[in-house]
Structure 1
C-alpha cells in the first residue's frame, strides 16, 4: 500500500462540516480553524480530520498580491463587485470563493511518519478523484497557464482548471486545502481576477510576475461534466467516501476544550490580515 493510500485510510476520520454555517462568516475563521486542526492533529490531540467550508463572495489574496503597485485600487474594485478581500496564511495567489465553491481541508499528522509536500498534494488529488468517479481518468494535475493562482497541482479536465491545492504546515500538522468550483461559471470567476490584476498593476513594472488571466481556461465541474451538482451533493458524497476509507467517521466541530486555542489562532489570523491589508 502506498503512503497516499495509507494516509487516506484512517481508522477514524473526524469530519467538521461548515459548508452551510460558514456562508455568513468571514473566511478568516476558516484559516484559523485549519491552524487549530493542524495543532490538534499534529500534536495527537485529534484524529485526522476533513473539514468542508463555503463562504459568501470573498477573494482570498496571497502575499504577492498585497504587493501590487495599486493594491488599494484593486481591493476597492473587488468591494464594488460585492467581494470582500482577505489575505490567507498559506501560499499562492488570489482565488475566488463564493457559494458555488466547495473548499475541503484534509488535516494529517506527521507524528509517526513525515509527509513531504508532493505527497500532501497527491493525497488531495486522490481524494478528489474518489469524489468524482464519473471523471475517472480525466482529472489531471499540472499547471494551467492563464488560470488564477496557477501551480503544478492545478486540477483540470481537458485543459480547463476547476480546482487548486495549497498546504499549511504547523506543529507537525499538515492542512492540505483544495477549492473545488462546483457550480456557476469558472470563466466569470477568472474574469473577476483578470480585472483585479489589471487594476492592481496598471502597466507598472513589477519584480514579481503576476499571472495574465485567460478566463477561458477555467470552468466549473458542472460545466466540464455537463452535470447539475450542488455543493451540498458533493458534501454528501464526501461523507460517503470517508465511510469507505475508515472504520468510523466522527462528526465533530470545535469542542469546548478546544475553544481557547481556536480563539488564539483566530486572533492571530485577524491581526495578520489587518497588517497585510493596511494602507500604511
Structure 2
C-alpha cells in the first residue's frame, strides 16, 4: 500500500491552523473524526492545527515522582499543561509547530507501520524540492523519542504518532517549522529534571540533549512559516491527484465532539490530580 493509492481519493480538509482553542479540543476532534471515518460516515480527513504555548504530557510523565514541581515550572514559563489520551511522552506545542492528522479507515492491509510510512512519505514529498535527506529513525536525546522521528543531519524536526479508535486511524505529526528546536528541548529537559530529582522512576524517561533537535527552517536554511508549509502541503496533495474538500464538522459530529471533549477533559483533570 503506497502513498499514491491512499491519497488518490476524496479527502475532507479541516484547517484549524488559525484557531486559538485549547489543545484538548484537538484530541476530541481527532477522536470524533476517527469514529466518523471508521464507521464509514465520512471520507478520510486531513486536519491541520496549531496551538499556543502548551506542553502535552504523556500518561507516564504524569506519574513522575515530583511531577507537580515540573508542571509548576512549565506554568511559570508561560505554558499550559495537559495530559494526552494516547501514548507518547512530553512534547511542546507553540505557534511555530504545525500539527497534521491523516485520518483513515482502519483496514487489515493498513498496518501500524503503513500509517507511519504514509506520513513519512508525505513529508518527503512536501520537501522534495529541497536539497536534504530526511531519515526516519529514533533520535536519542530528543523529547518524545520514537522509531519514526524525522531528522535531517541527525537533528530531529518532527515526530509521528498514531491513535486507533472505533475502526478509524489518526496518524499525527508535530512538525517544528520555525523558532528554536533546541530551546524547546531545553524546556522539556528542565521539566524532567524538576519532575524526577534523581529519584527512581517506573519508566525510562528521555535524557534530553537539546542539540539533537532543530526546526525545519534552521535545518533547510530557509525561512518557513506555518502558512508557507500549508501552501506547499496543499500543492503536494494536489500533485498526488488528491481531491481535497474544505469541510467542517457535521451536526452529528458536533454532538459526538461535545461528548468526546467532556470525556477527555474529565480524564485530563483526573490525570493531573496529585
State TM-score, norm by structure 1: 0.95
Q: Do residues 222 (structure 1) and 217 (structure 2) align? A: yes
Superposition map of 1:132-171 within 5 A: 132-135=127-130, 138-171=133-166
Q: Do residues 196 (structure 1) and 191 (structure 2) align? A: yes
SS state of the match for residue 164, structure 2?
A: strand
1:218-239 C-alpha deviation (Å, 9 max, x unpaired): 0000000001110111111112
Contact 2:185 2:208 in 1 (8 A): yes
Contact 1:10 1:48 in 2 (8 A): no
1:194-222 C-alpha deviation (Å, 9 max, x unpaired): 00000000010112111110000000000
Q: Distance in 2 between matches of 1:208 and 1:138?
A: 33
1:64-108 C-alpha deviation (Å, 9 max, x unpaired): 101110011100100000011101112110000000000000001
Distance change in 2, residues 1:10/1:268 (3 Å): farther
Contact 2:53 2:93 in 1 (8 A): yes
Partner residue of 2:4? 5
Distance change in 2, residues 1:193/1:204 (3 Å): same
1:114-146 C-alpha deviation (Å, 9 max, x unpaired): 411111100110111111113466000000000
Q: Where do 4+ consecutive residues of structure 1 move more than 6 Å? A: none
- Give the alignment's Cα RMSD to 1 decimal: 1.3
Residue-pair matches, total: 274
Contact 1:12 1:246 in 2 (8 A): no
Partner residue of 1:33? 29
Q: Do residues 44 (structure 1) and 40 (structure 2) align? A: yes
Q: Distance in 2 between matches of 1:134 and 1:149?
A: 28
1:232-269 C-alpha deviation (Å, 9 max, x unpaired): 11111112222223452110021223210111111111
Q: Distance in 2 between matches of 1:28 and 1:99?
A: 16
Q: Distance in 1 between matches of 2:237 and 2:216?
A: 21
Distance change in 2, residues 1:148/1:28 (3 Å): same
Partner residue of 1:95? 91
Distance change in 2, residues 1:68/1:247 (3 Å): closer
Structure 2 unmatched runs, 5+: none
Q: Distance in 1 between matches of 2:246 and 2:121?
A: 22
SS state of the match for residue 227, structure 1?
A: coil
Q: Distance in 1 between matches of 2:236 and 2:83?
A: 31
Q: Distance in 2 between matches of 1:243 and 1:275?
A: 43
Q: Distance in 2 between matches of 1:217 and 1:247?
A: 35
SS state of the match for residue 133, structure 1?
A: coil
